Structure 1
Amino acid sequence: MSASRNKIHPHKYSMWIAMASITMMFIGFTSAYVVKRAQANWQSFSLPTIFWVSTALILTSSLTIHLALRQFKARNMSSYKQLITLTALLGIAFAVCQVIGFSDMKSHGLTLDSTVSASFIYVIVGAHILHVLGGVIVLLILFARAYRTRIRTYSAVPIEVASTYWHFVDGLWIYLLIFFSLAR
């Protein structure tokens, strides 16, 4: 076995470094949340129900991107295109549900500047939405590339990197939802 076969692709390595950085950022956010929660002016509230709907959407999108990767590796480009498009649409639907959740919070008087606890939700969930939308942009680029990819010149690395990132933002949302549910 050659030494080059044991090396990780530079794009995959870069993605792992990026995910580690993003993880550190969200650990910082949730740590600050815990510290601030101990203050006297903290106001607890329930998360909007739509956040649970968005969770179902992002979990489904993890399945669709997994299937898209399998179809790409099987060189079934028609199914791959459909699944990568569905994944992107589910990502957009996730973000829309999050914005609806913000609207629900606002209708209950929980605005960005109303309470420290609401501010944390807006900032942390907003940062997560931006990461999801970044992933959606990548998925749309992969979709566009699927129309010009020739089977003899294709590489699975971009979809593998995108899939890893997508599962990461999915897992990050699950962590955040559990965190917010338990640390009210």
Structure 2
Amino acid sequence: MNPKVFTMWLFIVSIVMLFAAFTSAYLVRKAEGNWTEFELPNLFWISTIVLAFSSLTMHFAYLAAKKDQFNVLKTSISITFVLGLLFLVMQFYAWGQLVERNVYFVGNPSGSFVYVFSGLHGLHLVSGLVVLLVALVSAFRLKINANALTQIKICSTYWHFLDALWIYLFLFLVFNN
């Protein structure tokens, strides 16, 4: 196995373990009582759709790289990057919606967990944006092509993972809030 691919998988496994621990802690703490119920921000729903769409554009980038369609590759990575940024902006504004509902980071742990889940995911998404930028630079330098797919595979796998992680977290919060 390529050492870079192996490193990416180790990183993904560590992220899975982190969020498994947090979701487990959420369930244990909720069972103790003193839990405030509230509606999730509407922007969480919209941002989830935006992030899912970014997975589609990332897939287009991967397919374009396999076919040496360099313009499609660069455009698709660029769109994925913009959608990732849009997701982060929407998450920030979703925090504003939480504050409008009197849900704060400090206070009842039900709100704290939402901030931690979305904030930590956002931090990991920033790392995904860095990976996208590196891939975009490589695409402009024609270093990603049908004969050199490792970088776009790593980028694509990590991005799809981050999307799937958010969908898991979002559904977890929807069904356990």
Same fold (TM over 0.5): yes
Q: How many correspondences in the alignment?
A: 177
Aligned equivalent of 1:20: 13
Q: Offset at 1:154?
A: 6.0
* AA matched with 1:83: S
Residues of 2 paired with 1:53 and 1:142: CA distance? 27
Q: What per-residue deviation string (whole Å, max 9, x for no partner) do you get for residues 26-49 of structure 1?
A: 000000000111123111111101
Indicate the residue corresponding to 1:137 in structure 2.
Answer: 130
Structure 1 unaligned residues grouped into runs of 5+ = 1-7
Separation in 2, partners of 1:39, 1:153: 54
Give the aligned residue type for 1:174: I
* Segment of structure 1 superposing worse, 88-97 or 107-116: 107-116
C-alpha RMSD of matched pairs (Å):
1.5
Q: Which runs of 4+ in 1 moved over 4 A?
A: 150-154
Aligned to 1:73: 66
How far apart, CA to CA, are the structure 1 residues paired with 2:146 and 2:66? 13
Whole-Å separation in 2 of the counterparts to 1:15 and 1:157: 11
> Which secondary structure does the structure 1 equivalent of 2:142 belong to?
coil
**Deviation per residue, 1:97-145 (Å, 9 max, x gap):** 1111101001111111131111111011100011111101111121122
Aligned-residue offset at 1:149: 2.2
> Which of 105, 108, 128 is 1:112 aligned to?
105
2:66 and 2:145 in contact (8 A); partners too = no
Q: Aligned residues: percent identity?
A: 38
Structure 2 length normalisation: TM-score?
Answer: 0.95
Task: Report the Cα offset of residue 150 of structure 1.
Answer: 5.4
Q: TM-score, normalised by structure 1?
A: 0.92
